[in-house]
Amino acid sequence: MLEAVERYGDYILKSAKDTDSKRVRNIASWVAIHFQKRATSSPYAVLKSLDNRISTLKNQAENLSESEEETLENYVYDLFF
């Protein structure tokens, strides 16, 4: 599980790297570190964090098409299967 969380953290950091916003890069770094810390804490803790992340992405995707929302959900889906 830790390797999957690391891959997700790397994805978050790479996505934020191309932005001009220092705030976005800082938040991305915090999120990546947060998930790694939670993963080493307990499997339940990281699952709860990922569930919260999925909920946040779904809330942000309210105005997106159904296929785009499914794409957002798939960003974290691979961590479980």
**pLDDT given at position 29:** 92
Asked if 12 and 24 touch (Cβ cutoff 8 Å), the reply is: no
Helices 66-77 & 2-17, crossing angle to 10 degrees?
130
Please write the tens of the pLDDT for every residue from 25-69. 999 899 899 888 888 888 888 888 888 888 887 877 776 665 555
Q: Which two tokens stand for residue 69?
A: 């929302």
Which segments of the chain does DSSP mark as H helices, in order? 2-17, 22-41, 43-60, 66-77
What's the rounded Cα separation, in Å, for the pair 11 and 76? 10
Query: What confidence category does residue 81 fall into, taking pLDDT thresholds of 50, 70 and 90?
Result: very low
Query: Number of folded domains in the chain?
Result: 1
Residue 43: domain span: 2-77
Please write the tens of the pLDDT for every residue from 4-32. 888 988 988 998 888 888 998 999 899 89
22 alpha carbon, distance to own chain's centre: 18
What's the rounded Cα separation, in Å, for the pair 61 and 81? 23
pTM over cut 0.85: no
